[in-house]
């Protein structure tokens, strides 16, 4: 009788990748890695449902100089909300909540973190929606970061431009987004624009942008149709918002 132990042959499958891309939030993560899966769960919830604006944030409104710049805003589905604004380099509990929000936005857009210099020159505009079941509870249903800039480039249409295509700078060829190389004076830029998936197509982005244009420079409303506002390289959806809201006159700038 043999004393050898029975051996089990293991097969390592190279066909099934452990890297997954979530269809709901778009985040790629390693399946089976606890840290990655935990990050994905938290990120996915924030992307789809938004983050809460709770009691801790309410307590610091005065300390953080939070301004209400839009109240009783009614969305397309009848939901009511308000728009608040504060410095993007804010500290305290509001700063901590905002840092998590920015991390979520950057992960979603595959964008690098905004530098301290950019945050110092920026204001954050948040759309807070009221819960229908509990009016005292609010969700962050949208965010726009408005930055003080100096120059930007005019968007060009390759079909109607008098310049050859080789003289234009491609921003996103897949959406036919090109710009003229000349840099023009432009006072305000939008480095980040984000709306959770469950709150999209309700007009939140355009309401945030319009309020930012009206209040970013105190006493001096800005007009996107006159080329006074620019965006960093927008995603496909962001490019659509930029074109529609700015009526084709919004510009592009380098972050």
In a domain, 5, yes or no: no
Distance CA 113, CA 133 (A): 35
Q: Does 75 share its domain with 25?
A: no
Q: CA neighbours within 13 Å on the CB side: how many for 18?
A: 9
Residues with Cβ within 8 Å of 163's Cβ and at least 6 positions away in sequence, in order, are 156, 180
134 lies in the same domain as 190: yes
pTM, entire model = 0.82
Taking the C-alpha atoms of residue 236 and residue 19, their distance in angstroms, rounded to an integer, is 25
Same domain, 100 and 180: yes
Which backbone phi and psi does 50 adopt, to 5 degrees? 85, 170
113 and 33 share one domain: no
In angstroms, the CA 68 to CA 125 distance is 10
Q: Report the domain count for the chain.
A: 2
Residue 8 inside a domain? The answer is: no
Residues 107 and 227 grouped into a single domain = yes
Q: Is 42 in the same domain as 139? A: no
Q: Does residue 139 belong to any structural domain of this protein?
A: yes
7 inside domain: no
Q: Which residue segment(s) compose the domain that 26 sits in?
A: 16-49
Any idea what the Cα angle at residue 140 is, between residues 134 and 141, rounded to 5°?
Answer: 95
Q: Do 104 and 221 have their domain in common?
A: yes
Specify whether 22 is located in the same domain as 145: no
CA 57 – CA 41 distance, rounded (Å): 23
Asked if residue 70 and residue 44 are part of one domain, the reply reads no
Specify whether 41 is located in the same domain as 61.
no
pLDDT tens per residue across all 255 residues of the chain: 445 566 666 555 544 557 766 665 555 656 666 765 666 666 665 655 568 888 889 899 999 999 999 999 998 888 889 999 999 999 999 999 999 999 989 988 888 999 999 999 999 999 999 876 666 678 899 999 999 999 999 998 756 566 676 788 888 766 678 889 999 999 999 999 999 888 888 999 999 999 999 999 999 999 999 999 999 977 777 888 998 999 989 999 988
CATH code of the domain covering residue 151? 3.40.630.30
Same domain, 163 and 41: no
Q: Are both 174 and 130 inside the same structural domain?
A: yes
Which of 50, 136, 65 minimizes the C-alpha distance to 97? 50
């Amino acid at each position: 009788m043999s004393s050898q132990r029975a051996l089990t042959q293991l097969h390592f499958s190279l066909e099934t990748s452990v890297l997954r891309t979530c269809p709901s939030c778009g985040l790629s993560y390693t399946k089976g890695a606890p840290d990655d899966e935990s990050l994905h769960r938290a990120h996915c919830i924030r992307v789809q449902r938004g983050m809460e604006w709770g009691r801790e944030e309410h307590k610091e409104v005065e300390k953080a100089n939070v301004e209400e710049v839009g109240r009783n805003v009614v969305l397309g589905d009848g939901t009511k909300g308000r728009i608040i604004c504060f410095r993007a380099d804010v500290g305290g509990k509001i700063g901590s909540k905002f840092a998590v929000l920015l991390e979520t936005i950057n992960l979603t857009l595959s964008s690098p973190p905004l530098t301290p210099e950019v945050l110092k020159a920026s204001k954050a505009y948040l759309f807070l929606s009221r819960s229908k079941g509990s009016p005292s509870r609010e969700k962050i249903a949208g965010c726009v970061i408005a930055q003080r800039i100096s120059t930007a480039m005019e968007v060009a249409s390759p079909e109607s431009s008098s310049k050859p295509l080789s003289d234009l700078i491609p921003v996103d060829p897949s959406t036919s987004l090109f710009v003229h190389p000349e840099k023009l004076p432009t006072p305000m830029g939008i480095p980040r624009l984000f709306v959770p998936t469950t709150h999209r197509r309700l007009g939140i982005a355009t309401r945030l942008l319009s309020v930012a244009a009206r209040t970013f420079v105190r006493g001096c409303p800005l007009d996107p149709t006159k080329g006074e506002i620019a965006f960093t390289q927008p995603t496909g959806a962001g490019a659509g918002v930029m074109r529609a809201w700015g009526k084709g006159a919004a510009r592009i700038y380098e972050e």
